[in-house]
Amino acid sequence: MIIGCPKEVKVQEYRVGLTPANVLAYVEAGHTVYIEHDAGTEIGFSDAEYQAAGATLTDKATLFAKSEMIIKVKEPIESEYHYFRENQILYTYLHLAADKPLTEMLLAKKIQAIAYETIKTPTGLPCLAPMSSIAGRLATLEAAKYIQKTFGGKGVLLSGTAGTPKAKVVILGGGVVGLNAAQIAMGIGADVTILDINAARLAYIDQIFAMKIKTLTSSRGNILHLLPDADVVIGAVLIPGAKTPHLLTREDLKLMKKGSILVDVAIDQGGCFETSKATTHVDPIYEVEGIIHYCVANMPGCVARTSTLGLTDSTLQYGLDIAKLGVTKACLADPALLQGLNTYAGHCTFKGVADALDIEY
Ligand code: NAD
């Protein structure tokens, strides 16, 4: 198959759909790979490395014109729509439920579109988990930074030092984000509490952290009880297919000490604090009731090299399967990949998207 990986065009998006190592895997499997000039230069993957791995460098228009499968990171934006050709395969993050114009383009051009975020195995979302893991780790690191006095925080070192108290980090949601946030917080010596509504998950967390962090059932009472002493609260909640609940109101913030930090990782799903609004890496924080809010919706973007490596590790094997078998056979052979199929031959093939956009399934 002929595969093309264009340079991403969204503002501040430095990730790339294929690394030089990925190119080598496709080339060794007998495929042809086109890479757009400078697709990975910003994050240390040079054109020379791609060429050495067997890719042909080209411009965007030629790449789209020649490739049977386009491998990207982010959903195409309007300026990219015209490049797509009928029946082309698109393998990328898509988030179609929130993007009717893109869905309409994919349907009109009969694109065979596979969304990373809906590929689903019995144990989870393999192409989404690496980004959640990175966002969780970053959540604690960002909190550790913004709680410093120089950034407007209360001036606390999360680990404390000998003879001083450790900072109290409260994590709402013990899924992939929450667990990774806890790992880093525990690693730097903070006092960590995770709250979740899933008792089995809390039991698992209790075991893997060998009782070194506290677990609590997520109830309004338990959350309010923790707020006066919390230095950092990380929102990492997800209810699949439903709106994220607001676990903290504006009024609740008055219980917290000024200069404490809220990190709302769940902001990409609407956020789990009433006072959250999406921010960017350029202007990541703002203050409400004296509490610093960090609500960046694409946290992994600031560590684009690590994010690219994590993402492409998870997408490579599915991509190789598609390249070998074509979308139809690859999806029929693998139920996880079939879940990833969002549009096919002019039809919307993912129920959640069809329902959200009120289009035919
Ligand atoms: P996950 O499904 O692995 O975990 C979510 C957890 O929340 C589950 O354990 C669930 O039981 C728990 N939960 C649900 N309701 C709760 C409640 N009322 N109180 C406490 N816990 C509750 O999801 P994840 O991969 O960890 O993702 C968490 C959130 O982070 C999602 O909204 C995801 O979209 C978001 N995310 C954001 C970024 C970013 O850059 N901002 C990056 C990755 C993920």
- The DSSP element (H or E) to which 151 belongs, if any, is none
The predicted model scores a pTM of 0.92
Structure confidence by residue, pLDDT tens digits, 194-234: 999 999 999 999 999 999 999 999 999 999 999 999 999 99
**Residue among 191, 196, 264, 268 flagged as catalytic:** 268
Query: Which residue ranges have their beta carbon within 6 Å of ligand 1?
Result: 131-132, 135, 172-178, 195-198, 201, 218, 236-239, 244-245, 247, 265-269, 297-300
What's the pLDDT band for 188 if we cut at 50, 70, 90?
very high
Per-residue model confidence as pLDDT tens digits over 290-305: 999 999 989 999 999 9
pLDDT at 264: 98
Q: Is residue 118 part of a domain?
A: no
210: exposed, middle or buried (C-beta count within 10 Å: 0-12, 13-18, 19+)? exposed
Residues 106 and 138 in one domain: no
Give the distance between the most distant pair of CA atoms in the chain: 67
Q: Looking at the structure, do residues 147 and 185 belong to the same domain, yes or no?
A: yes
Strand partners, 170: 193, 233
- Counting atoms of ligand 1 from 1, which one is nearest the CA of 264? 41
Find the 252 Cα to ligand 1 centroid distance in Å: 21
- The answer to whether residue 232 is domain-embedded is yes
Q: Any idea how long the chain is?
A: 361
Instruction: Indicate which CATH number applies to the domain containing 241.
Output: 3.40.50.720
Joined tokens for residue 307? 């994010």
Dig out the tokens for 292 from the structure. 């610093």
- Of 261, 276, 297, the position where a domain reaches its end is 297
Q: Are 265 and 221 part of one and the same domain?
A: yes
21 inside domain: yes
Q: Indicate if 209 and 269 belong to the same structural domain.
A: yes
Q: Do 29 and 148 have their domain in common?
A: no
pLDDT tier, 241 (very low <50, low <70, confident <90, very high otherwise) = low
Q: Are residues 287 and 310 in the same domain?
A: no
83 phi/psi in degrees, rounded to 5:
-75, -25
Average pLDDT score over the chain: 96
Tell me how far apart the alpha carbons of residues 349 and 114 are, in angstroms, rounded to a whole number.
10
Residue 33: beta bridge partners?
A: 3
Is 146 in the same domain as 292? yes
Q: Are residues 287 and 159 in the same domain?
A: yes
321 with 341, same domain: the answer is yes
Helices 176-187 & 129-146, crossing angle to 10 degrees? 40
Q: Kindly provide the residue ranges of all beta strands, DSSP E only, lying in 17-108, ordered along the sequence.
A: 32-36, 56-58, 69-71, 89-92
- 268 tagged catalytic: yes
Residue 296 DSSP code: B
Q: What is the pLDDT of residue 11?
A: 82
Please state the rounded mean pLDDT for residues 306-311. Answer: 98
Task: Return the DSSP state at 248.
Answer: B
In the predicted structure, residue 242 carries a pLDDT above the cut 70: no
CA distance 72 to 160: 43
Task: Examine the domain organization and report whether 154 and 86 are in the same domain.
Answer: no
116 within a domain of the structure (yes/no): no
Q: Is 268 within 8 Å of 236 (Cβ atoms)?
A: no
- 40 is a domain residue: yes
Q: Which domain holds residue 49?
A: 2-110+304-357
Task: State pLDDT tens for residues 90-149.
Answer: 999 998 988 999 999 999 999 999 999 999 999 999 999 999 999 999 999 999 999 999
User: d(Cα 85, Cα 71) in Å, to the nearest integer?
Assistant: 14
Question: Residue with the nearest Cα to atom 29 of ligand 1?
Answer: 266
Overall average pLDDT of the 252-274 stretch:
95
Asked about 347 being catalytic, the answer comes back as: no
8 Å CB contact between 331 and 341: yes
125 within domain boundaries: no
Is 283 in the same domain as 138? yes
Residues 292, 325 share a domain? no
Q: Does residue 152 lie in a domain region?
A: yes
Q: In what order do the strands lie in the sheet with 89-92?
A: 56-58, 32-36, 2-5, 69-71, 89-92, 112-115, 341-344, 347-348
Calculate how far, in angstroms, residue 238's C-alpha sits from the geometric centre of ligand 1.
4
- The total domain count for the chain is 2
- Concatenate the DSSP letters of all residues of 123-139 into one string: TB-TTTHHHHHHHHHHH
Cα of 174 vs centre of ligand 1, distance in Å, is 7
In a domain, 312, yes or no: yes
Q: Which of 95, 229, 246, 321 is catalytic?
A: 95
